[in-house]
Amino acid sequence: MTEHPDTPDVDPYLRSAAREIEAHAANSGWDQPARLFALVPTSDLLSREPGLATALGVAEAEAGSLTPVEQETPADHPLEETLEGIMWPAEVFGCAAVVERLVLPPSADAEMPEDHEAAQEYAASHPDRQEVRIVAAATRDGAAYCTLRMRAHDDDQSVLEGVDLVPGLLELLHGTLTQ
């Protein structure tokens, strides 16, 4: 499922930012709360914060590159609900979210309870469940990129990548960027 980085539909700078966020999340380990990042053009960030450029030893940024800036999110509120109320300022070119979820095989759908809490319990106890960490990133110009790491295959070479791995989450992220 990994797409070649030179595929025309892949924004290389968004891909780079998503992979950077995925590596950062992987360093934190599993069982982490959801995280949210603003994606800011690196050149804009360095021009507004010249001390940052000096501290990082960066003379100038490659045109189009993006820097993830982690945002605080309410710990007691599901990220999906938080995203429904966010509108980013114009300086933010994109955003990314990191979430951990349980994934079930399609065969489990037939027995999935309709009640939300019962469905969560069903998923948590299902013998074929997979724990995954998802990074979904989107930009104002409509680009998207995702990474997906399975807990059962927790190594950098097994991270899946693509432009549309989690369409629902990408739709929520794009919604935060639309005025």
List the domain range (segments joined by +) for residue 44. Answer: 12-177
Question: Where would I find the H helices in 131-166?
Answer: none
Give the tens place of pLDDT for each residue, 137-170: 999 999 999 999 999 999 999 999 999 899 999 9
Are 36 and 70 in contact by the 8 Å Cβ rule? The answer is: yes
170 in a structural domain: yes
The residue-averaged pLDDT of 22-36 equals 95
89 in a structural domain: yes
- Whole-number Å distance between alpha carbons of 91 and 136: 20
Question: Where would I find the H helices in the chain?
Answer: 12-28, 42-48, 50-56, 79-84, 116-125, 167-177
2 in a structural domain: no
Are 39 and 32 in contact by the 8 Å Cβ rule? The answer is: no
pTM: 0.85
pLDDT at residue number 5 = 47
6 in a structural domain: no
20 in a structural domain: yes
145 in a structural domain: yes
Give the tens place of pLDDT for each residue, 84-133: 999 999 999 999 999 999 888 788 888 888 888 888 888 888 888 889 99
Mean pLDDT, rounded, of the chain: 88
Q: What's the number of domains the chain is made of?
A: 1
171 in a structural domain: yes
